[in-house]
Amino acid sequence: MAKAKGLELNEEKTQIIHRDKGFNFLGFNIRAYKGKCLIKPHKQKVHTFLKQIRGWLKKHRTAKPEVVIAALNPIIRGWANYYRHFVSSKTFNDVEDAIWKAVWRWCLRRHPKKSKTWVKNKYYQNIGGRNWTFTTKTTSRRGSLRVITLTRATEANIIRHIKVKGKASPDDPMLRDYWVKRQINYGKNYFSKNTKYYRIAARQKWIYPVCGEPLFNGEELHTHHIVPVKKGGNDGEENLIHLHKACHKHVHGAVRPLRKA
């Protein structure tokens, strides 16, 4: 058995496989197609994800539409963001179609005595030129009505990884502009375009205005209310700013108010 620095390989978990046959790893299927290696979402993991969505809908047959959207949106976004960097376009379309069918069945089960036209008019609207968008109205913390929609898997832009140029090191001060540009380009694909959070980041020029560091430098990102809600602040774009997690904690502990971007 092969050994490396005194560590033995686990025979049950270690095997040699031809690239044309492929293998599964961390939710992905890695396989060569016509000589080209492609990384795709593992089919079984996709089925498991859809089973989770369907299971939640069956368990919450009488939930309000806003509860459905609030519960499923983070799940769908998180799943799509995990797979968006690989060959996932077809899978995203298939998943989006499957979720649409599951939600439609949920709507029909909720109103068994109503016509399909009635159900469609109650739960679906044309949003951004896209028909049959699961939509509802809810009340914001300030008491105003707002429209919320169920997110689609295809809203997550497929982002191909761009190789680092040569032997460029993030520790090289001469290459600061190069790394900042990479981080900004990543940020522009992080949020769906024309959304509130995208516009907030663009207004900040994709940097944290206090320290000047790029927003997307690997740290966890938080969205902060400049004027706290308890002091009359709202959820409008003009009152929101993206911060790094550590900076967010610092702001809440600071005496001086945060300036706008």
Domain boundaries, the chain: 43-155, 173-253
Burial of 215 (0-12, 13-18, 19+ CB in 10 A): buried
Report pTM.
0.69
3-state class (DSSP) for residue 210:
coil
Q: How confident is the model at residue 114 (pLDDT cuts 50, 70, 90)?
A: very high
The highest-level CATH class for domain 173-253 is mainly alpha
- Residue 218 dihedral angles phi and psi, to the nearest 5°: 105, -15
DSSP annotation string for 3-34:
EETTEEP-TTT-----TTT-EEETTEEEEEET
Summarised one tens digit per residue, pLDDT across range 220-255 is 788 888 888 888 888 888 889 988 887 777 777 654
Cβ partners under 8 Å of residue 13, min gap 6: none
List the single range of 155-164, 175-184, 199-208 with lowest mean pLDDT.
Answer: 155-164
Q: How many residues are recorded in the chain?
A: 261
Q: What is the pLDDT of residues 211-220, one digit of tens each?
A: 677 888 777 7
Out of 27-36, 101-110, 120-129, 243-252, the most confident range is 101-110
What local confidence, expressed as pLDDT, does residue 90 receive?
93
**pLDDT per residue over 58-88, tens digit each?**
999 999 999 999 999 999 999 998 898 888 9
Q: Which residue has the tokens 């400049």?
A: 226
- Ranges 15-29, 114-128, 140-154, most confident: 114-128
